[in-house]
Chains A and B, each alone.
Chain A
């Protein structure tokens, strides 16, 4: 079983749509969680941290359910520029980034 699992997609949505990505992780001792964004042939960039209480950054909302070992990312009012691969990341031992395989999002006009 992979340490971090994501639906690979692609999710193909029209502009303005709301889309949700899910992720599960296997290590119940994991303490820190993030979403990264990776554009085609570019490096990953930190999108947002994920907190148990849930957190929002503009159109993006992240949620963590520790009991279910489940992380989610909600994107509202999708823009063409949101097209990218979204990587779910769990931190182990305080410094190792453990990445999921990524979920690809395509936003069409």
Chain B
């Protein structure tokens, strides 16, 4: 079975541009979470989507937005890019729903460089 896939693997943008990152969860998983990992730090929670609805949002500005599609894949959009947005963007999928924690499986990430 395929794991979590993300595209593109690498991306270079300039300040002020917009970027869209994509994620396909593990088959059967209905929840997708996005994390930002700046070099030398641990991943930081951005969003979680479950059944196409936003379940939670981390402390990120409105320039960051996301959505989940009927097939449970997801997009993360970042507008008006800043140099500080350079990071590894990780997508994690989980079964989602119910009570208690569902293990989150991470994709390989998209490495974004903003010049």
Verify B101–A95 contact, CB threshold 8 A. Answer: yes
Alpha-carbon distance between A93 and B108 when the two chains are bound, in angstroms: 25
Chain B, interface residues (CB within 8 Å), range:
20 to 34
B92-108: CB near A (< 8 Å → 1, else 0) gives 10100001111110111
Nearest-CB residue, chain B, relative to A100: B42
Verify B42–A95 contact, CB threshold 8 A. Answer: no
Known: A95-B101, A96-B58. A43 touches B45 (CB 8 A): no
Contacting residues, chain A, for B58 (C-beta < 8 A): 96
Known: A43-B108, A44-B90, A94-B99. A99 touches B43 (CB 8 A): yes
Chain A, interface residues (CB within 8 Å), range:
20 to 34
Q: Judge if A55 is at the interface, Cβ distance under 8 Å.
A: no
Q: Can you add 11 more A-B contacts, CB < 8 Å, to A8-B40, A95-B48?
A: A43-B109, A46-B103, A87-B42, A94-B100, A95-B31, A95-B56, A95-B94, A95-B101, A96-B58, A99-B42, A101-B40
Which residues of A does B touch, CB under 8 Å? Answer: 4, 8, 32, 42-46, 87, 91, 93-102
Show 16 residue pairs from A and B whose CB-CB distance is below 8 angstroms, ordered by the A residue: A4-B42, A43-B107, A44-B90, A87-B43, A91-B101, A95-B31, A95-B101, A95-B102, A96-B56, A97-B35, A97-B43, A97-B45, A99-B42, A99-B44, A102-B41, A102-B42
